[in-house]
Amino acid sequence: MKQDIAQNMIEETRMARDAFSTMVGAFSSDLWSYCTYIAGSPWDGEDLYQETLLKAFGMLPERWSDLTDQKSYLFRMATNAWFDLCRKRKLEVGRLPEGDISSVPPMDTLDLEEALLQVHESLTPKQAAAFLLVDVFRFSAEEAAAIVHTTRGGIYASLQRARQNLKENHSWEVKPLKTKDNETNETIDMYLEAFNTGNLDKLLSLFSSTAHNEAFLGFQEYSKAEMKKGSMRFGLPGHTAKRITLWGRNVIMVITDDGELHDIQVQEVENNQIVVHESYFFRKEFMFAAGEELGVAVQLNKPPVDWR
């Protein structure tokens, strides 16, 4: 009986999640860009984006008013999630004191493009949020004030200070992440060989019995046994995988025979075994950004996903 209840809850939640995904689809690209800019990198932005969607979906039962402004709701969730993360990292979120400014003209396009590369390093989290919401994503000052939890005057004053700070700070660079050790490299090399030769048994032997296998916003499996019964039950996809560096991180890129980007994967290795395997297969915004960065077309039709 308990098992039936749990299964019904899973199925009903999946249907609700699908409806939610349809609802937010019109804003997903802007939301992902916002998360990336405010977090300072595509990797941290992707994490923030996923956290935002999970919180936004989970908080829906607590709303007693109609969700008339879905875009503001999502951006509010993203902003709150980022502020919470900053506080956990012991970072000062900042305040937006009011000024005497009644209006602020739009920022020049060329200045804006350069500024986007510096937002994370040059502004406090609240200043960055206010700047991005108004200058990039065209929220009104009143809408931005509600999202950032400040006043309209605070937004106007913050925009001027943010723009001045960005003009005074012109340096920006991507900091490469630390590479993994030889143990990881050897295990990943064996993974690549097994993947590319279609040797499922060899590939599974590289995973720990309690490995965590996750395709972000798609599915999660919590053991090798679940992988065998779930995502791996039909075997390997027959594509080609190779090691690359994407935005400073060592990852695995999976390419189809037609040269299209099928997946981006990341693994964690402990004691010569894969303990975490993460896939971006279902992550449309991330995959398109990765394809653009790598100069590779993204596979649009890859069941159960169809992005055509």
Same domain, 162 and 47: yes
219-221 β-sheet, strand order = 219-221, 207-215, 273-279, 261-270, 249-255, 240-246
Instruction: Write the secondary structure of the chain as one string of H (helix), E (strand) and C (coil).
Output: CHHHHHHHHHHHHHHHHHHHHHHHHHHHHHHHHHHHHHHCCHHHHHHHHHHHHHHHHHCHHHCCCCCCCHHHHHHHHHHHHHHHHHHHCCCCCCCCCCCCCCCCCCCCHHHHHHHHCCHHHHCCHHHHHHHHHHHHCCCCHHHHHHHHCCCHHHHHHHHHHHHHHHHHCCCCCCCCCCCCCHHHHHHHHHHHHHHHHCCHHHHHHCEEEEEEEEECCCEEECCHHHHHHCCCCCCCCCCEEEEEEECCEEEEEEECCCCCEEEEEEEEEECCEEEEEEECCCCHHHHHHHHHHHCCCECCEECCEECC
Same domain, 194 and 291: yes
Same domain, 140 and 234: no
Tokens of 199: 């040797």
Any idea what the CATH number is for the domain that residue 155 is in? 1.20.140.160
Same domain, 210 and 138: no
Same domain, 286 and 225: yes
Q: Which of 168, 192, 209 is the endpoint of a domain?
A: 168
- Quote the pLDDT of residue 172: 42
Same domain, 52 and 143: yes
- Quote the pLDDT of residue 9: 85
- Quote the pLDDT of residue 278: 97
- Quote the pLDDT of residue 62: 87
Same domain, 279 and 156: no
Same domain, 127 and 102: yes
Task: In whole angstroms, give the CA distance from residue 187 to residue 195.
Answer: 12
Separation of CA 261 from chain center: 18
Same domain, 281 and 141: no
- Quote the pLDDT of residue 86: 85
- Quote the pLDDT of residue 4: 77
Give me the domain span that covers residue 90.
2-168
Same domain, 163 and 188: no
Say which residue the tokens 């025979």 belong to. Answer: 257
Same domain, 159 and 188: no
Domain count, the chain: 2
- Which residues fall within 8 angstroms of residue 238, CB to CB, at 6 or more apart? 198
- Quote the pLDDT of residue 175: 47
Tokens of 242: 């190779």
Kindly give the confidence (pLDDT) of every residue in the chain, 308 residues in length, as a single tens digit, with 9 standing for 90 and above: 566 777 888 888 889 888 998 989 999 999 999 999 999 899 999 999 999 999 999 888 888 788 888 999 999 999 999 998 888 877 666 665 655 445 555 555 445 566 666 777 778 888 889 889 998 898 998 899 999 988 888 888 888 888 887 777 654 444 444 444 555 689 999 999 999 999 999 999 999 999 999 999 999 999 999 999 999 999 999 999 999 999 999 999 999 999 999 999 999 999 899 999 999 999 999 999 999 999 999 999 999 999 99
Tokens of 7: 């299964």
Strand-pair category, 261-270 with 249-255: antiparallel
- Quote the pLDDT of residue 65: 81
Contact at 8 Å (CB) between 34 and 116? no
Same domain, 25 and 164: yes
Give a yes or no: residue 176 inside a domain.
Answer: no
- Quote the pLDDT of residue 117: 66
Any idea what the CATH number is for the domain that residue 251 is in? 3.10.450.50
